[in-house]
Amino acid sequence: MVPVSLLLWMTLEISGYLALARLGLHLDWPYAIALAIGTLLGVRASINAVTWMFGMAFASPAPRLGFATTARLMWDEYLAFLLTFLIVLPLERLWMPADRLPSGRPVVLLVHGYGCSRGVWWKLRRRFEAAGYAVASVSLVPPYTSMGKMVPLLNQRIEAVCAATGAKRLTLVAHSMGGLVCRSYLARHGSSRIAKLVTLATPHAGTEIARVGFGQNAREMEPDSLWLQDMAGETPKVPVVSLRNPYDNYAMPQDRQRLPGATDVELPAVGHIAMLYDSRVAEALLAACSKEGNQR
């Protein structure tokens, strides 16, 4: 649903820009196309800028980065944003074919974040498979419903993956909002199927940028929401590793990525979406998902 809706939205958006350029500004086709592409990229640059404004306005204490490092951080995040939402997700099936689930290997299930789909894992899936894992994924739909309503879909996928691989338990690896959905799953279904939970830049105590987000799940991720207050009383009964991004531009204040009782691992400076393509983050994830925690 997410890839289809993104592709439809992008098609309509570009058509609107072309219509404005041709009918409103009376531009020739080459100039109209250039204007449409420029506007498309400019709108994404504005969205990306807003996330950094929030990230800096509500930043937790952290060592200051130099101008060049900050500029590179923001540029890499913008490129990752464009790649993810203009190319990867709309054309998900080209980037992320069906899961390959061989038996006899430790199993990880990748759970995406807000407004995304399983396609965001296309690069990290290759790293996990190269490291000897059977790698499963799931798309949580509809994308803007309550996180609690996403849990049954996650549960179905967990059971299907265990049946397909013969594994008794698996490791959940979750980016951003996905970590909260996994915690809700553990609170509802227990830990019989789960060996470990590894969260990546998950706003365990909420994020300020959720206040401008769409959907019920955005309301639930607002700091001090009733949903988060309820979840705070649910202690996961499995080992949890929280990979925290001290310079995150979506999960802020960044210290709200901490989860009491979890192993806290600080990541290098990287953007919230760019971390899905970063080799240093990949190594940290593989280290957190030590194979000894999985049972076949």
| pLDDT bucket at 291, cuts 50 / 70 / 90 | low
294 pLDDT above the threshold of 70: no
100 pLDDT above the threshold of 50: yes
Query: Distance (Å, rounded) from C-alpha 107 to C-alpha 109?
Result: 7
Mean pLDDT of 204-225: 97
| pLDDT bucket at 7, cuts 50 / 70 / 90 | confident
Residue 240 phi/psi, 5-degree rounding, is -125, 130
**What is the reported pLDDT for 77?**
98
* Percent of the chain scoring above 70 in pLDDT: 97
- Does the CA dihedral 112-244-125-75 come out positive or negative? positive
Query: Distance (Å, rounded) from C-alpha 37 to C-alpha 31?
Result: 10
Whether omega for the bond prior to residue 90 falls within 30 degrees of 0, making it cis, is no
pTM: 0.96
Query: Distance (Å, rounded) from C-alpha 287 to C-alpha 44?
Result: 33
Mean pLDDT of 47-51: 97
293 pLDDT above the threshold of 50: no
Mean pLDDT of 193-216: 98
- CA dihedral angle for residue 136, residue 139, residue 140, residue 144, rounded to 10 degrees: 150
Query: Distance (Å, rounded) from C-alpha 82 to C-alpha 170?
Result: 32
Tens of pLDDT, residues 132-158 = 999 999 999 999 999 999 999 999 999
Pairing of strands 134-138, 170-175: unpaired
Tens of pLDDT, residues 188-197 = 999 999 999 9
Cα distances (Å, whole numbers) of residue 65 to 74, 167, 215, 252? 12, 44, 34, 17
Higher confidence at residue 30 or residue 7?
30
And the tokens for 268?
A: 């290098």
285 pLDDT above the threshold of 70: yes
Tens of pLDDT, residues 234-277 = 999 999 999 999 999 999 999 999 999 999 999 999 999 999 99
